[in-house]
Structure 1
Amino acid sequence: MSGTGDSLFSLQRRERIMDEVRGHGSVSVSEMATRLGVSELTIRRDINALAQQGLVTRVHGGATLRSSIEPGLTPGLAGHDPTLTKYTIGMVVPSLDYYWPAIVSGARAQATQLRARFLLRASTYDVRDNRKQVEALLNTPGMHGLIVAPATSGQEGIEMLRWLDSLPVPVVLAERRIRSAAAVQRLESVATDHAAGAAQAVRHLRAVGHERIGLLAHWHNPTSRFVRHGWRKALKSLGLPTDVADVDTTNFDGPDRERAMDDVLQTCKDTGTTALIVLSDPPALALEQHARDRGIRVPDDLALVAYDDEVARFGDPAISAVRPPKQFVGREAVNLLIARLDAGSSRPAHRVMLNPELHVRESSRPAVPVSAGATAPDTAQTPAAVPAAMPSPTRTEEDS
């Protein structure tokens, strides 16, 4: 094939890659290679070329839209053409680690599609820092509206919501609920229905044969109270026992980590709990590994469903998980903000809830006994079986 042909195909591939990045905020090397029928090396070369042109940022396994906080870029001006943009919008998130990057990615992708200039600031889970970062964006010339994920607990949280409601630009909360005690009128919001996600997990575990379904969550996690509410409500609606394991994971990160996990396993044994919903992926992975070390089989003795689905698939076995629609939270937040800016104050405030999805993997499939010499049946077509009683989580002689 001639060099001209190669060049043409390269341009077509790179256009497809850019379409994917603009549409979803990121692109996977392996997925694009499969989709376009070329090698992963070819896609990596295309991404390198696009990165050299300043169009994408290379990351492990793929690429993302360039960020306005990257070195060498004027804040907020990555890919910005003032002749093509109508609005400038800002976003403040409490972290650029776990959970939030996907929300930011979705928001940036949608802002790009709608030709809005997008500015990002990272904050913490502290109200005072939230306010500081919001004020910094408000001081940016030409700022039209904000997407914010503030701390909302306690009286400080109520005052924060009231302050945001009083700002001269429209504000949309991302992955935050508007507390009724704040009595605000103008604030809009988009959040995941975490209670519905927990209920999905309960119904799935019941369908594969479990009746005693517990919960493992960090009680100070902002998502925890919604997950717990959905879990308890689902247990009651299905007529399932509620005297099951309900354990805090606070000590999972401390020096007594192993003892804390032993306590969880013992609580499951004492209460007859045969399945756990775990918020979030890291404690689910840690507990799965610890259970295996203690001779407790997943899913045969203890089934697991994680809540988040960031890294649950890397478990051994892969862990089923409820996946919040993070990118769509970011996208819908931008949609709400742009719609308000287009329509003005006459548009009623929207408060949107998005449903998460349950991804079933090996950690919660029904345990089906296989007779000697028989072939294991397809669990998707086999009636569910109740897991056997859990062994005691004490150390064996081999462990000592």
Structure 2
Amino acid sequence: MAATADHRRARILEVVHELGTVRVADLAARLGMPTVTVRRDVAALAEAGRLRRSHGSVALPEPGTDTPANATGAVGGAGAAALLGSTGQTATGVPDGRGRVIGMLVPAIGSYSDEIIDGARSAATAAGARLVLGISPAGAGDGRGQVARMLESGVDGLLLTPNGLPDGPADGSDWLGGLPVPAVLVERRAAPGSAAAGLDAVGSDHRHGVLLALRHLAGLGHRSVLLAARQDTWTAHEVRAGYADAVRLLGLEPRPALDLHRSGGPPVPTDPERLADRLALAVEEGVRAALVHGDRDAIQLPPLLRARGLRVPEDLALVSYDDAFAALTTPPLTAVAPPRRAVGAVALDLLLRRLGPADLPAHHIGLLPTLAVRSSCGALPGQD
């Protein structure tokens, strides 16, 4: 039978009384409890003033230190107690992150990651927490080296976007299950059945985003939509899976995807001339609509197609999957917009709640993309 929270916390206090200052990871090993559970209980005990935390370690409060029960100062005493609710929130509903340091691992700096980082940074600032960044570029491993360095620096929790693909080996993410601090996967999910499958995860529901695009094109009368996408990124895999699902659901004619993947080495731009040639050939075969992942490739296509005697949208309705720059071309591109900033903000919010005293179940949160309708698909903005 699982121990109650009160029983677990009583055992934690016993060990800390016995040992004095002790690392949380060592405390968890001594008690035979998951590190995540011990960290959550330690957070609750620290909030109650019964323990003191510092850089991954825990100790008894210094003699004479005020606790929430007897403090009277405006900060850390009655004033702070008035701001915090039972879930560790401020009066505005923002999780309390004062003094927290959050490590964030991203695979690259670019338009997609930048917006996620910005969302997380804004949420951290609002909560009083500090965000530190680690970068694990494609081809540089899964990022555990960067994570180890952030853990050594004393971060309280982690937002993680490790390199890897959905169809990777089930044990490829097992290292994530042994982290000594709470972690939230961002735009990733661990393989089902892996040691990390129970981690919190927040990401865009890219399959829903593709469905929005294809349903819109089907509503305009298209019965065949061509997908052009990479296959060497997590998002591209989800877009491809979403295409297969949407084609089946909407009764569209399935077509093989145009593969924009370049194997080996870091990502490089697609050859736009070659992509335009392949789309022109598809038009000759009767295709009149295409979804291109993402903006970097899609925005180059209208002038290249014009050079081949094809007009957008008259000869080919064009939709981009990204919407970072899609509105800036001629004609402006209809585009699926993943909620990048919201993903970062929600992930940071969830991690701070995980660090608080509340005993939360694991969350797998999928945020829905939106479709910005512009003239490149032959419909008027706002037309569904």
Q: Does 1:290 align with 2:301?
A: no
Give CA deviations for 1:69-90 in whole Å, capped at 9, x if unaligned.
xxxxxxxxxxxxxxx8231111
Among 103, 126, 136, the alignment partner of 2:149 is: 136
Higher relative contact order (CA 8 A, sep 6+): 2
Structure 1 residue 259 displacement after superposition: 3.4
In the other structure, the counterpart of 1:103 is 116
Match of 2:120, as an amino acid? A
Structure 1 residue 274 displacement after superposition: 0.6
Distance of 2:268 and 2:192 partners within structure 1: 34
Structure 1 residue 327 displacement after superposition: 0.3
In the other structure, the counterpart of 2:13 is none
Match of 1:311, as an amino acid? F
Q: Does 1:316 align with 2:330?
A: yes
Name the count of aligned residue pairs.
285
Aligned to 2:143, what secondary structure does the other structure show?
helix
Among 132, 136, 141, the alignment partner of 1:119 is: 132
In the other structure, the counterpart of 1:6 is none
* Cα contact 2:184–2:199 (8 A) shared by 1: yes
Structure 1 residue 158 displacement after superposition: 4.3
In the other structure, the counterpart of 1:269 is 284
Among 235, 247, 255, the alignment partner of 2:258 is: 247
Give CA deviations for 1:293-346 in whole Å, capped at 9, x if unaligned.
1110100100011001011111210001000000000001101101111136x3
In the other structure, the counterpart of 1:349 is 362
Aligned to 1:182, what secondary structure does the other structure show?
coil
Distance of 1:185 and 1:203 partners within structure 2: 32
Structure 1 residue 365 displacement after superposition: 2.1
Match of 1:286, as an amino acid? Q
Match of 1:323, as an amino acid? A
* Cα contact 1:198–1:230 (8 A) shared by 2: yes
Alignment map for 1:300-315 (pairs within 5 Å) = 300-315=314-329
Structure 1 residue 355 displacement after superposition: 0.2
In the other structure, the counterpart of 1:200 is 212
Among 210, 234, 237, the alignment partner of 1:222 is: 234
User: Could you say if the C-alpha distance between residues 353 and 202 of structure 1 is closer, same or farther in structure 2, counting changes exceeding 3 Å?
Assistant: same
Structure 1 residue 288 displacement after superposition: 2.1
In the other structure, the counterpart of 1:28 is none
Distance of 1:161 and 1:274 partners within structure 2: 41
Pick which of 301-310 and 247-256 moved more.
247-256
Structure 1 residue 186 displacement after superposition: 4.1
Among 136, 151, 171, the alignment partner of 2:183 is: 171
Match of 1:290, as an amino acid? L
What is the TM-score when the length of structure 1 is the normalising length? 0.66
User: Could you say if the C-alpha distance between residues 297 and 257 of structure 1 is closer, same or farther in structure 2, counting changes exceeding 3 Å?
Assistant: closer
Pick which of 295-304 and 84-93 moved more.
84-93
Give CA deviations for 1:118-141 in whole Å, capped at 9, x if unaligned.
111222124636111101100013
In the other structure, the counterpart of 1:363 is 376
> For structure 1, which runs of at least 5 residues remain unmatched after alignment?
1-83, 367-378, 385-400
* Cα contact 1:151–1:157 (8 A) shared by 2: no
What is the TM-score when the length of structure 2 is the normalising length? 0.69
* Cα contact 2:161–2:186 (8 A) shared by 1: yes
Structure 1 residue 257 displacement after superposition: 4.5
Identity, % of aligned pairs?
A: 37
Structure 1 residue 216 displacement after superposition: 0.7
Distance of 1:146 and 1:233 partners within structure 2: 33
> For structure 2, which runs of at least 5 residues remain unmatched after alignment?
1-96
Structure 1 residue 161 displacement after superposition: 2.1
